[in-house]
Every structure is written in C-alpha cells, then in structure tokens.
Structure 1
C-alpha cells in the first residue's frame, strides 16, 4: 500500500493486495455534521447500496439477514433507516462495494467518516455506477458512521455545497483474535480429512467479530491405543447442568493430553462413532 501524488494534486493509493489504484474523492467544504437527510435538504432521488467485496476480509452484518439480531443492535441513518455494520481490523485495511442507484452520479458522492479518516475509492470492473471503498480500521472498540452524501449547489447566488445523505454504514473496529481448533478422530469415527472447509465456515461465521480461525488435524486415537471405550457412556443426559464430562469423555481427553500434549489456546474436537447420540456434540460449562 502506498500513497502517491500527481500533477493535478490528486492523491492516489496503490493497493498491492488487489492491484487496484484508489483515489481520494474531492474534499467537501463540510464535515459529517453538515450532512442532511433528503427531507432536510429538499434533495430527493437516488440512493447507494453496499455489498460484500470479493476481497473483503471481515464481515458485513445486514439488518434482516436472518441472524435474529434486534433492531437496536443496528444504527440508523439520517432518515431513520437501519444500516449495516461493517467490521474492520484495528489499524488494517478492508473493502466494501458500493452501487449508486437512480439519478446519482458517483463523481458527485462524498464519503464522510465520523473519525475524519479519508475513504479512497476505485472503480468496480464492469460497473459504471459502482465503486470499491478502501476502509481503514480505527482503535479497538471504535464505533462510527460512514455517511455517503451527494453534493449539490444551493440555488441562486449562493454557491455553497449541500450534502444530502444517500446511504450510510456503521463501522466497528476490533483487534483481531486468532483461534485454533484441532479435529481428532477416535478409533474409526467419521472425521473430516480436510480441515479447509471447516476453517472456511468458521471464518465466514465469525467474520463480524474479526476472529481468524486456524483449523488442523490432530493425531488419531486408535483402538489399540485406547481400547475398551464404552461409547454409551458418552451420553450426557444425566450430567448436572452440563457441568462436567462423562467418565469416558475424560478418559479420551486425558489420554490425548498425556500422549500428545495440549495448548490452552486450542479447542480440541473429538469425533466418536456412536450410532444414536443424545446430542450433536458436548462442551461442558465450567464454574
């Protein structure tokens, strides 16, 4: 990533991750506090919509996307509409795609963050009204709004700008957390041979929280190593509020820990062959 200048004083950002060159849009005379809703400014028509970028690293939480989040989880724009949250890694860059609809021209748009961070933009391939926005995360825990506003001129002799919001996005910055998982086959149980799809699913699911999962295969516990396991004792129906492992669970875990070692920052997922389990899986709740 690098910033360059040009003969026309336009600043550019060369993003080596995507090969795109992002430019800084023309600066507006007003800041976020100058932005008005269409009702306030009297300027109507057109809006922008956000969508995930193919280069996006972390999640986009969209209202009504089926995740069961209450309305008060989301911010609202200046017209009272719920807006999505975009997660960012603190101090790092990420991407979001934008499309202008109606009579909007993308060159008339300004991107204003509450923090004052600049928002470089680049054309989207094959989309005359599309832009890729380059967003930089703030400090861990920062929450702010990105307002996308169209610029118009006041009528008459007043040439000052009018900023009318045509879209908004909530930005949430987090320090990245790295999590580790090992998949362990017990005897001849069915267990994924390739951890890649599991890792991909976890990273997609936890992307809004800026969590990076690393999934690997652990050592198989063979029947010769740990014979005479009574898999019926893996049932957990009689456990007190799921506060402890069953005897056979403890036996498997303790053998693995004693033989191969464990790390406190790694989750160990044991696959067993039990035909009629009472649960899909089990993780006791410690007190």
Structure 2
C-alpha cells in the first residue's frame, strides 16, 4: 500500500485518473447546471485530496466514524456539522465569497450554531439578558445604507452567552435568555441592554472537540456579541462585535471569525456612574459599546 509522499507508478495513476473521470461523468446528465458544476467540482477536489495524502483505509474508516458521531450528537439545539464547518474555516470562507466588500458596508462573520428563531421582541432600550448572569452592558448605534441614509424599522437579532460562557440552549431547562430582537427607530437608531461578552469554548465534548484536542488547537472563541440585521432592499448582515481588550484576540478565535473592523471598545463604567437611560443598576458596574451598522444593497 502506498503512503503519503510515495510516488505512484504510471499504471496506478492511470487507474486513479480513470476513476475520477468516471465519477465526474456520472453527473453529466444532471438537469440543474449549477448542481452539475458543484458535484463535479466536489468529486475532483475530493479525489485529489485522497490521492494527495494517499488516504489509508483505516483513515477513511475513522473519517466515516467521525461523521457518524457528528450526526448522532446533532439535534435541534446543537449542530455539530456547523461547528465542524466553523473550525475548518469553511464557514468563514463561504461568508467571504458571498459577502463581497462594498463601499464601507459592515463586514460579515460566522453565524454560529446557537441562533434561535423567534426570540422575544424588546422595545428600544430593553434588556436582552432575560435573567442571564453577567455584567450589564449598554449597546447603541445606527443602521444606515452605504449612502448614509438611516434605515428605519430594520430588524436586529442579538444573542450572546452568559458570564459562564453558556448560551441558553446549552441549559436543560428550556430557558430563553441572552437573546432578543428589536427594530430601529425612524432615524435608524437602536439601543438595548445586554451583557458584557466573555470568551468561551465552543462545545468540545463531541467529535469536533476531539479533533481540536488531537491537533493541539484551543476551542476558545474571542468574546463577542452576535447580530443579524435585516431590512427590505438591503443585504442581510450576519456579524458580531468583539471586545477590544479581550486577551483571546491575541491568541486566536477557534472559528476564525475575528475581523479588525468588528473589534469594538467596550468602555467600563464604574459603579454609580449614571446610565444612559437612567436605569438603576443597584450599584453594579457596567459597560457601554457603540456599533454603527452599514448595510449593502441586496444585489451586490
């Protein structure tokens, strides 16, 4: 059996080439041209990988077992395949391909596995924490288009972990916390109370975590707050902001989601400092952040 780095004979290379050609040709009759393109390219790249590393049968079996385990651990609250895509950088590469830079529009980043549809609506200035533990944080900003026009009634979904690094869906009690949606006002402004983000590990008790451990990679994500912003006629933005003084930024983000333009000052406010809306925090310290969002046209 050949191994990585071993040269194949011309006869062996011909056998392998013929197999690639046969599999590629099997998709020639696909009625959807795009599906045909995707499947044939996938076959070429997959076979090229197998041939490049001279994949062993034992390694192939390990890969099948890995994917099977990922399927078993996936449920309506945990998506191990999204996690796998994230740690391989495939999620960020897909985002890069589909969100081309455009005239100062806010950069997109990974969606992550913890979004929940139909999060409760809060009024402007409301609190997304839902009782989750953490330091209160005031977040405000504007939503505009790339010409600087305010975007009224833009829908903003926000979600984040608590101070222990867990999202609500990671708890067994069906709680809804650390997430909500709100709408911008007539001038495109928004504001809400959340929690100061903290670093946390992606779920590493499954096959993805085992893989990261095997290759010596950390499961930690840099501290961040998720946003998804939608408005008619404008490109949907999935992004998040990162805490500027988070030490994890210098170490790395396990899903490659950090972009310099998304690193945001979270200003610490001492206890007793008046809050923007007069909220009484009972002597607690708090933080504040500003994030102005610029949406690209839907057709770019």
- TM-score with structure 2 length normalisation? 0.21
Question: Relative CO higher for 1 or 2, CA cutoff 8 Å, sep ≥ 6?
Answer: 2
Which has the larger helix fraction?
2
Which has the larger strand fraction?
1
Q: Which has the larger radius of gyration?
A: 1
- TM-score with structure 1 length normalisation? 0.22
